[in-house]
Amino acid sequence: MMSRSMVTRRLHVLLDEDRYTRLERLARRRGTSIATIVWEAIDAACPEDEPDRSEAGRRLLDAEPIPVADWPSIKNEIGHTYEPTAE
């Protein structure tokens, strides 16, 4: 979590009474401020290190092919491990 000395932006948020009361109660129980609870909620909802999906997709597409058996062999293996249930 970022230190308070690095905080440079202000955010004004209006809450209904129920949400504010829940934040207040949680902050009191944890012995912290409402601001800290809000910061933690933002960090949980918007992680800094969210994986780049396009980069992951590119790496998958650029990967070397993995050798696999021919289709009849795979189909035979699937048939031996999966037995459909009678309906």
Which overall architecture, per CATH, does domain 9-81 show? Answer: Orthogonal Bundle (1.10)
Q: What is the pLDDT of residue 16?
A: 97
Residues 14 and 23: beta-carbon distance below 8 Å: no
pLDDT digit string (tens) for 25-65? 999 999 999 999 999 999 888 877 766 778 888 888 999 98
Residues 41 and 34: beta-carbon distance below 8 Å: no
Residues 27 and 36: beta-carbon distance below 8 Å: yes
Whether the predicted pLDDT of 72 surpasses 80: yes
Q: Where are the domains of the chain?
A: 9-81
Whether the predicted pLDDT of 74 surpasses 90: no
Q: What is the pLDDT of residue 50?
A: 64
Q: What is the pLDDT of residue 6?
A: 83
Q: What is the pLDDT of residue 33?
A: 96
